[in-house]
Amino acid sequence: MNQDRLRQVLVVSGVVGTLTVNALSQIIPFNGQTSAEIANRIPIFFLPANYVFSIWSLIYIGLFAYAIFQALPAQRENPRLRAIGGWFILSCVANCTWLFLFHYNQFWVSTIAMVVLLVSLIVIYRLLRAGSPSIGAGERWAVRLPFSIYLGWITVATVANFTYALYSPNSSLLGIPDATWGAIMLLVAAGIGGAFAFLNRDAVYALVLVWSFVGIIVRFPAEGAVTIAAGVAAAALAVAAVIVLLQRRGDSATLTPRRA
């Protein structure tokens, strides 16, 4: 088996393995507790409502699409898929490792696994866009789109994981009340997310953050500072997504030759 075929098999195995570990973590569950039960135990203000986590279904549908697409014979020598193969396997290992650590209450160590996952997805994201290649609809929908959604969600999850690890019921971080700290992080995350969306002209990434921030409003409707910050962040990112879409539409119109 040559390296390209091996990469294709490993990517498919990585997706199947990661989904299996995620399913078992909820069915068994690991350490007798589900991820939702752990997350809901501590009142942090960067955690969206439970329904928001349904985005994992969309993420895994997208990753299956990527696994199938990259396994096609015609994609065996695709240079972008070659470049991201190893990083994707690393992301799968980090994802599964995070689950075990989080379920066994190793919150600080789980943050390291989450950062590894985030960094691997950022690298994948950049490699897919290196040199601004012209790609077909199949790669756009089955590769770029899934990783935009995945990266957007893990951006939110990383901040939430840090917040969870930092939480102490007996003290406030730097003397700042928990709700105020949550509002600050929302605005910082929105600024970083908006800048990332503009630089990469990626409306999907921005909309994933909007989905998450609206979920925070739903979870904490009575927390004034958190609700206002989440509302401002969601609105700003929604506007950013619209602007990016208009920019992309303008670029497409400019590149399309006019008929005589």
Mean pLDDT by 10 residues, the chain (260 residues): 92 98 95 90 86 95 98 96 97 97 93 97 96 87 97 95 76 70 90 92 96 96 92 96 89 56
Give residue 249's pLDDT. 83
**Residue 174 pLDDT:** 61
* Cα–Cα nearest to 202, from 167, 239, 248: 248
The predicted pLDDT at position 51 comes to 94
> What Å distances lie between residue 192 and 62, 165, 186, 206, 214, CA to CA?
24, 21, 10, 10, 17
Q: How far apart are the first and last CA of the chain?
A: 52
Angle at 144 between CA 138 and CA 146, to 5 degrees: 100
Q: Please, are residues 30 and 103 in contact by the beta-carbon 8 Å criterion?
A: yes
**142: CB partners within 8 A, 6+ apart:** 62, 65, 66, 68, 69
pTM: 0.93
